[in-house]
Amino acid sequence: MKFQGCITALVTPFKKGKVAEKTLASLVERQIRSGITGLVPVGTTGESPTLSTKEHERVIEIVVAAAHRRVPVIAGTGSNSTEEAIHLTSFAKKAGADGALIVSPYYNKPTQEGLFRHFEAIAKKVNIPIVLYNIPGRTGVTILPETVARLSKIDTIVAVKESTGSMDQASHTRSLCDIAILSGDDSLTLPLMALGAKGVISVLSNVIPEDISQMVKAFAAGEHDRARQLHYRMFPLCRAMFIETNPIPVKRAMSLMGLCGDEIRLPLCAMQSGNEKILKDAMKIYGLKIKGLF
């Protein structure tokens, strides 16, 4: 299966400490109606580190059911325990997910050989398309291009979410293999597409799904000036959306828009007031309707 275009890394809405299931389903519907081409539940943006295994599995079930095969669902199933990652990936397949987004093991700091064996073990156990998630800022280890190239020879490893922030990393990977590259940083989607990336797994599309979708489609269609215009317009909003640790700002923005609550789980906490003002100003300039401002 090909994963491309604008794929949204969904937030997990909470209400009084529990997953807000109806709200989550409504967010899925909004995303699909806005033209996105895929959904990623229980990734970093979905606060997977603080979800119990039962909650993690339930979120996958809800998103798969709400999407109803209209767009691919790529469930976040990574762990720093290979056995746990296999369990979550197996569950995702049984629940009807179309793919699995698997982050490199965090904290353990495995060698490149360890990384290879981790992903190889999951791929051997569960027959599902896998997207590698390369985000050293969160995990403490980079999946090097040579390792990505080795892994790309496994039939079910079909893409890599590139969140290293390095154009050289993407260029080196592309020079070694033809694995699909997906941007993992909203501000770098356009530059990465210029290097051959097929789209983005986006945080910002929780807020402006139509515009992210249009930018990706414009570039893919050769409408580069149009894509650049959209990129430059949304760039200040993108920067504001990452002024604090993701998903703190995006959840606050969605709350201000009336899409869901901004409840998050410790150790994440509410935005600092100064940063919230920066976020609100960026939203207002972009033209987003904010409660109390319009």
pLDDT in the model for residue 1: 65
The per-residue pLDDT for range 135-166, each reduced to its tens digit, is: 999 999 999 999 999 999 999 999 999 999 99
- 286 catalytic? Reply is no
Q: Which of 133, 217, 251, 280 is catalytic?
A: 133
Looking at every residue in the chain, the average pLDDT score rounds to: 96
- 161 catalytic? Reply is yes
Per-residue burial over 249-288, b if 16 or more Cβ lie within 10 Å, else e, is bbbbbbbbbebbbbbbeeeeeebeeeebebbbebbeebeb
Strand order from edge to edge, sheet including 180-183: 38-40, 5-9, 199-202, 180-183, 157-162, 130-134, 99-103, 74-76
pLDDT in the model for residue 294: 34
The per-residue pLDDT for range 157-196, each reduced to its tens digit, is: 999 999 999 999 999 999 999 999 999 999 999 999 999 9
Token duo for residue 140: 């403490």
Task: Flag whether pLDDT at 246 surpasses 80.
Answer: yes
> Looking at the whole model, is its pTM more than 0.75?
yes
The per-residue pLDDT for range 65-109, each reduced to its tens digit, is: 999 999 999 999 999 999 999 999 999 999 999 999 999 999 999
Q: Which of 93, 107, 125, 161 is catalytic?
A: 161
Average pLDDT over residues 207-235: 97
Instruction: Identify the structural domains of the chain with CATH numbers, from first to last.
Output: 5-219 (3.20.20.70)
Quickly state the pLDDT bin for 291 (edges 50, 70, 90): confident
